Amino acid sequence: MRGMVTDPLATASPQESLGVLLGLVRSEIVRAMEAELAALGVDLRFTQFLILKRLARLGPMTASELARGVELDGGAMTRQLDQLEGKGYLRRCPHEQDRRALRIELTDQGTSLWQQLTDCNERVLEAAQRSLSEAERKRLHDYLTRVLHALRDKD
Amino acid sequence: MRGMVTDPLATASPQESLGVLLGLVRSEIVRAMEAELAALGVDLRFTQFLILKRLARLGPMTASELARGVELDGGAMTRQLDQLEGKGYLRRCPHEQDRRALRIELTDQGTSLWQQLTDCNERVLEAAQRSLSEAERKRLHDYLTRVLHALRDKD
DNA sequence: AGCGAATATTTGTCAAGGCAAATATCGCGA
DNA sequence: TCGCGATATTTGCCTTGACAAATATTCGCT
């Protein structure tokens, strides 16, 4: 029993493992990102990182837009916003045209935090893909995109 | 605001979206698999499906081995085994050589269930990869494997 | 033989996310 | 203008999985 290492990849046939493999790679990336964040002394989960990223890149937007953008449930988004607002990284402002909605915007603190995080992000992705050539990285991205579309537009 | 569709892929740069993209593809595969299972009248989550798959392919094994095999926490495994045993798909037997451990084995019902599930599995993976040639599927698998190793063996 | 580290299983606790219900608005059409 | 269906946000409830502590064994070493 002891020392009996069961590497999921060692015994998985190529065909069956796509779903599993994706999960493994993703969880390693998440783990690596969160480790990098922690090393920087930043207390953020991967999801929160994605939320800040989206806000930093696309500017202020509604909570719903944000939720759709990161594929997160609306209720979960409310709670993440609570946390991020509590940490001082963003602000809930009233929406100009729509009184139902919020305008979520980064605070100055949130913006300056993002400048640290953007490197962190690239470091991890670079490390993950370090054994892939530029052409291979493009192909990987292309394949994944095509698989995603195949799953979504199921004819 | 309304009708303002924000496709995560439309605005994501290739570089940044690897982690996100993996998550999207994986969750679509999981969703598709669970939908297929439900359509067959089988009440199983993706994780439970993976557990049965591993048992069906590799034969009886310890709960710990199973947990490592599907990359699941030991505590979570205990609870999944509770459920699967309750549904009658597997059995916890005492381990011959190690009184700490269990020998988890499929019941007849579990074995016959698996025969239905194996098709289901292939259908979903086939649909997911239907726009990829055989060579591309191999490459996708290869790239993912290499990324996984790069992340794990971080020199 | 006996001790201590490692491993197996179970259970308690916690955070994250999905789903549904409640409330507030919006906006289109009668 | 009124009403109704759709959308935005929040909250409660539930499930899942990670982490840690507790208990039972096992294994290597002295």
- What DSSP string describes B38-66? HHTT----HHHHHHHHHHHHH-SB-HHHH
Residue percentage of chain A with pLDDT more than 70:
88
Look at residue A16 in the predicted model and tell me its pLDDT: 55
For the ranges A1-5, A49-53, A64-68, A148-152, which has the lowest average pLDDT? A1-5
Domains and CATH numbers, chain B: 19-152 (1.10.10.10)
CA atom of B137 to C1′ atom of D21, Å: 45
Query: Hey, which residues does A106 pair with through a beta bridge?
Result: A90
Q: Which residues of B45-76 are buried (b: 16+ CB within 10 A; e: fewer)?
A: ebbbbbbbbbbbeeebbbbbbbbbbbebeeee
Higher pLDDT, B32 or A17: B32
How far is the first Cα of chain A from the last one, in angstroms, to the nearest whole number?
48
- Backbone dihedral angles phi then psi of residue A19, each to the nearest 5 degrees: -60, -45
Q: What is the pLDDT of residues A35-46, one digit of tens each?
A: 999 999 999 999
- Could you read off the pLDDT tens digit of each residue along chain B, which spans 155 residues? 433 444 444 444 444 579 999 999 999 999 999 999 999 999 999 999 999 999 999 999 999 999 999 999 999 999 999 999 999 999 999 999 999 999 999 999 999 999 999 999 999 999 999 999 999 999 999 999 999 999 998 76
- B147–A64 CB contact, under 8 Å: no
SS3 A100: coil
What is the chain A residue with the closest CA to B149? A128
* Whether A62 contacts A101, CB under 8 Å: yes
Size of interface A-B (CB pairs under 8 A): 179
Q: Does the ipTM exceed 0.90?
A: no
With tokens 């607002």, the residue in question is A85
Look at residue B71 in the predicted model and tell me its pLDDT: 95
pLDDT higher than threshold 90 for residue A51: yes
**How far is A53 from chain B, CA to nearest CA, in Å?**
10
* Whether B108 contacts B127, CB under 8 Å: no
Mean predicted confidence (pLDDT) in A25-39? 94
Q: How many alpha carbons lie under 13 Å from residue B87 in its C-beta half-sphere?
A: 19
| Helix, strand, coil fractions of chain B, as percent rounded to 5 | 65, 5, 30
Give which of B1, B25, B29 to mutate to test A binding, by max A Cβ within 10 Å: B25
CA atom of A63 to C1′ atom of D8, Å: 8
- A14–B141 CB contact, under 8 Å: yes
Q: What is the pLDDT of residues B38-59, one digit of tens each?
A: 999 999 999 999 999 999 999 9
What is the chain B residue with the closest CA to A64? B1
Look at residue A155 in the predicted model and tell me its pLDDT: 61
With tokens 């806000």, the residue in question is A55
Mean predicted confidence (pLDDT) in A111-117? 95
How far is the first Cα of chain B from the last one, in angstroms, to the nearest whole number?
48
Instruction: Please name the amino acid found at residue B42.
Output: V
